[in-house]
Structure 1
Amino acid sequence: MNPQTTPAATAPQTPLATPWGSFDLTRFPADPRERLRAWDAADEYLLRHLAGETDSAAGAATELAGRRIVVLGDRWGALTTALTAASGSAPSGTPAAATAAAPSGEPSAAPAPYGPVQITDSHLGRRATRENLARAGVPVDDSRLLTTRDTPPERIDVLLVRIPKSLALLEDQLHRLAPAIHSGTVVIGTGMVTEIHTSTLRLFERILGPTRTSLAVRKARLVFCTPDPALDPGPNPWPHRYALPPDIGPASGRTVVNHAGTFCAERLDIGTRFFLAHLPTPAPGARVVDLGCGNGVVGTAAALAGPGAELVFVDESHQAVASAEETFRTNLGPDAPAEFLTADALDPALFAPGSVDLVLNNPPFHSHQATTDATAWRMFTGSRRALRPGGELWVVGNRHLGYHVKLRKLFGNCRLVAGNPKFVVLRAVKR
């Protein structure tokens, strides 16, 4: 069964039990073979703390009603779904807004809509949130689901942070949200013990204010930050720019732009470097997809090698797509034709069968902290469907991942283009 078309309801999941009810949650896209949950102990710990049900709670439960709540980095919508249900919906005939009680010494808060505002970098996480809200019977309001590239709310009364894998993304987002945080803002982070480091706490302290952690519960911790409006965190250092090395083909010496959270923000990774040295030259008029584009260096190199090609950059990360667009525009000019899509691989709604000539792919094999081949499999199956007969999928990957087995199973063929002790470049042709 193709996991890209598997109904969400078929994925077995353990319900998330919260003080506001039990929720059947799913990742997106749901796969009946996938056993990774859509929530973990860190999500559960934070929700129990907000309800005043943990030893780490500072007195009574955190006041949520009528306050502007922002949830940053909610991975699959567990926090947003539970808190939206907790806040309730506006009574019939009542505007979906409530006035927050201003902390002592603070100006009056602007009216805040019911429910939290989610800010996420993940297209898949956002889709999962929409599905989980619907499964919980909670009205879905697009205006409450923001991306890391959207303008954040002007005022935040409660900031809940799911600590991301990327410290750079946390740094960038705290800088972006800091102007909306006031002295009365409640700031709480959550993550597994392995995700919270001294450097994590230093970021909160440098950008927002004094920070401490809770005791560990089921290998999860909470982070408590007391905002200091007088603190000057300095300018946001993101995005980063660097020059590519020589001897890697058409992209040699070109400039790469990396927004925070995009893979290899400081320098070119060795796998992509190996891929760049063995890329095919696109034919004039060919539609070429840089799938899982990251900072867009692979697609940009293909455009430089084949000036007449039509490039499409695709990634599920909003930060990555923004990086790819800036990398491409920096090297080929502001008017060079290309598409930039935040999507789930080669989404059938965006790519008709037979609409693509060449796919270039460096698939990830992690989903947050978990190792999985689900993303690579979805990318490969989507590529086969979207490619025209005779179209090609070129893949770079770690040798030990055995991508050649999957490609032979899907395409009936797979050729080794190049290899070294660590990486292989593979080519599969749609017959």
Structure 2
Amino acid sequence: MTTPWGEVALSRFPEDPRDLLRAWDASDEYLLRHLADQDTSLTGTVVAVGDRWGALATALARHRPVQITDSHLAQEATRANLARAGVEPGTVRLLTTQDPPPDRVDVLLVRVPKSLALLEDQLRRLAPALHAGSVVVGTGMVKEIHTSTLELFERLVGPTRTSLAEKKARLIFSTPDPALERGANPWPLSYALPEGVGPVSGRTVVNHAGVFCADRLDIGTRFFLGHLPAGRGTQRVVDLGCGNGVVGTAVALANPEAEVLFVDESFQAVASAEATYQANGVPGHAEFRVGDGLAGVPSGSVDLVLNNPPFHSHQATTDATAWRMFTGARRALRPGGELWVVGNRHLGYHVKLRRLFGNCQLVSGDRKFVILKAVRRPD
């Protein structure tokens, strides 16, 4: 990526030479160019929120910025990109969306996320640290910035305007208003599940901002909950890509002898899963882990993996995440262990599962979704 201060080499995480997607886009370049053109003072506390692969943190490393991200993969990409650039560890402070933000923010750079709720939560958490002299600049591609985005900046930060578009990217400029009345942060959000969803009927779900379908039970998960395997006794079960943890919680409620591992690459998701589990007083044993799928889980140590894989990476549609999840599941499963997957019928996951496992069984399906089972055979 070319910046006003030179070029930086950037990669996504995990690195894959076959991946043609860049680790930055025109909105990152536009923001950095604006900071240089305006000769913005970066001597105070600089905070970059939602920096997807560390492009902003790496380009601005000499100013010792603070990065705040919801993504474990983005954080790991940042570490790798900083190391590649020769930046000493600790120069850039890496925080998650669950960590307390800095007490004072002089320059706030916001990469607009896909989730308006996550943007609201982060602006509410950071607004008290802003002062009248703080510089606040948001950035995103034109298709990512909507009227609701600008209204949120206006309501939580202060008077807001936008730039002209350049290479389909746009900037957002907000002037902090310390006297602004923002009200209480509505996140995390809790609601009771409807009847007819197995062991979790009427149970409480807790969602931190940014978690998929945070205000309702999505139809794919609802379909999955109606067909989960039951009566398995003592098992090591993984809710892979756990989101708010409702699937893993349902397993734990139906089978108190199970040991359930909740895994997601989103810090907000894992916090939601743990809160959901605790809110329902579930007996048994559970572990909550933020990570890259099943990396770090010993091979052959798991009996059952339950998975509703995403098929988007930010604005890109891709099956790369699902493939890595399936591959990790096969490695982690014991011989005879099972991977259960729910997905949109048109995604064709059965082809990948047959290629990887050598088998795939249709458990159930409707007009939109299928539930598939693949069994780990002995090598």
TM-score by length of 1: 0.86
Give yes or no for the alignment of 1:309 onto 2:258. yes
Q: How many pairs were matched up?
A: 377
Q: How much has 1:336 moved relative to structure 2?
A: 4.6
Alignment-derived partner of residue 343 in structure 2? 397
Q: How does 1:34-183 map to 2 (within 5 A)?
A: 34-52=19-37, 60-64=38-42, 66-85=43-62, 87=63, 115-141=64-90, 144-183=93-132
Give yes or no for the alignment of 1:339 onto 2:287. yes
Alignment-derived partner of residue 383 in structure 1? 329
Which string of whole-angstrom CA distances, capped at 9 and with x for unpartnered residues, describes residues 330-358 of structure 1?
1135x7521000000000xx211111000
Alignment-derived partner of residue 306 in structure 2? 360
Q: In 1, distance between residues paired with 2:376 and 2:190?
A: 37
Q: How much has 1:369 moved relative to structure 2?
A: 0.7
Alignment-derived partner of residue 187 in structure 1? 136
Measured on the aligned residues, the alpha-carbon RMSD in Å equals 1.0
Q: How much has 1:242 moved relative to structure 2?
A: 1.1
Change (3 A) 1:282 1:51: farther
Which string of whole-angstrom CA distances, capped at 9 and with x for unpartnered residues, describes residues 129-180 of structure 1?
0000011111121870000000110000000000000000000001111111
Asked whether the equivalents of residues 72 and 265 of structure 2 are also in contact (C-alpha less than 8 Å), the reply is yes
* 2:214 alignment partner, SS class: coil
Alignment-derived partner of residue 96 in structure 1? none
Asked whether the equivalents of residues 329 and 336 of structure 1 are also in contact (C-alpha less than 8 Å), the reply is no
Change (3 A) 1:143 1:27: closer
Gap runs ≥5 in structure 1? 1-15, 53-59, 88-114
| Partner of residue 233 from structure 1, selected from 167, 175, 182 | 182
Asked whether the equivalents of residues 213 and 222 of structure 1 are also in contact (C-alpha less than 8 Å), the reply is yes
Asked whether the equivalents of residues 29 and 124 of structure 1 are also in contact (C-alpha less than 8 Å), the reply is yes
Give yes or no for the alignment of 1:19 onto 2:4. yes
Q: In 1, distance between residues paired with 2:324 and 2:278?
A: 29
Q: In 1, distance between residues paired with 2:198 and 2:92?
A: 44
Alignment-derived partner of residue 98 in structure 1? none
* 2:106 alignment partner, SS class: strand
Q: In 2, distance between residues paired with 1:269 and 1:21?
A: 45
Q: In 1, distance between residues paired with 2:314 and 2:151?
A: 22
Q: In 1, distance between residues paired with 2:362 and 2:234?
A: 26
| Partner of residue 370 from structure 1, selected from 316, 332, 344 | 316
Asked whether the equivalents of residues 241 and 258 of structure 1 are also in contact (C-alpha less than 8 Å), the reply is yes
> Identity of paired residues, percent?
73
Q: How much has 1:33 moved relative to structure 2?
A: 1.5
Asked whether the equivalents of residues 239 and 260 of structure 1 are also in contact (C-alpha less than 8 Å), the reply is yes
* 1:253 alignment partner, SS class: coil
Which string of whole-angstrom CA distances, capped at 9 and with x for unpartnered residues, describes residues 241-295 of structure 1?
1111111111111111000000001110000000000000152220000000000
Asked whether the equivalents of residues 282 and 302 of structure 1 are also in contact (C-alpha less than 8 Å), the reply is no
Determine which structure has more spread, i.e. the larger CA radius of gyration: 1
Bigger Cα displacement from structure 2, 42-51 vs 247-256: 247-256
